[in-house]
Chain A
Amino acid sequence: AAGVIQSPRHLIKEKRETATLKCYPIPRHDTVYWYQQGPGQDPQFLISFYEKMQSDKGSIPDRFSAQQFSDYHSELNMSSLELGDSALYFCASSSNWEGSHEQYFGPGTRLTVT
């Protein structure tokens, strides 16, 4: 079965640079979530989109922005990167139109800021 696709899988950036992370949800899933997971920590919710509209916002810095496009893929844009932004970034998708609350995660993007 098709899963959530994330790209790139690894990204190395320097401080103050920008990064763009991409997420392709499971086909027919209309909802995308972004989570950040620091070393040894549980995933923390950043932001979600339902039917291309921002749905909920968590602890996402103002330096970060995201959107969901007409084909339901999503991009997380991160600017003025800081050392503390180094983490695993996961995208998850679900099918809200089916009333499902199950979220399926992608393999993640490992961001390293040097």
Chain B
Amino acid sequence: QKEVEQDPGPLSVPEGAIVSLNCTYSNSAFQYFMWYRQYSRKGPELLMYTYSSGNKEDGRFTAQVDKSSKYISLFIRDSQPSDSATYLCAMSANLPGTASKLTFGTGTRLQVTL
């Protein structure tokens, strides 16, 4: 079983819909949580970074972390066709003296249709 589980989709929504993307994880050492957007054959683009449990909002994006349930979410409001991409959740532990690697979910492919 992977440390980070993410529904691969594909997820198809109409333009303007609210999108909900989710990941669960099993490693209690994970303390830093990120969401990346990746267009085909491009590098992952950092969308959101959170540390503590709770919500963080940035424009149309809201990241939610529930450490007690080991569950994180990304909400996209007023989705646009340009949001069509693969969304990867990623997380890392805080290991003193090391550069903490990211462990990724498998990514959810999102298609926003006109």
Contacts and interface: CB of A to CB of B under 8 A. Distances in A.
Interface in B7-54: 32, 34, 36, 41-46, 49, 51
For A35, A58, A101, A107, which residue has the most chain B Cβ atoms within 10 angstroms? A101
Contacts of A108: 41-43
B102 A33 contact: yes
B55 interface: no
A48 B44 contact: no
A96 B99 contact: yes
Given A50-B99, A96-B99, A101-B49, A107 B105 contact: no
Nearest to A34: B101
A41 B49 CA distance: 22
B34 A102 contact: yes
Contacts of B90: 103
Contacts of A42: 88, 104-107
For A33, A42, A44, A92, which residue has the most chain B Cβ atoms within 10 angstroms? A42
Contacts of B45: 105
For B94, B97, B101, B107, which residue has the most chain A Cβ atoms within 10 angstroms? B101
Contact of A105 (B36, B41, B99): B36
A101 B96 CA distance: 12
A94 interface: yes
A90 interface: yes
A89 to B, nearest CB: 10
Interface of A: 4, 31, 33, 35, 41-45, 48-50, 55-56, 58, 88, 90, 92, 94, 96, 101-108, 110
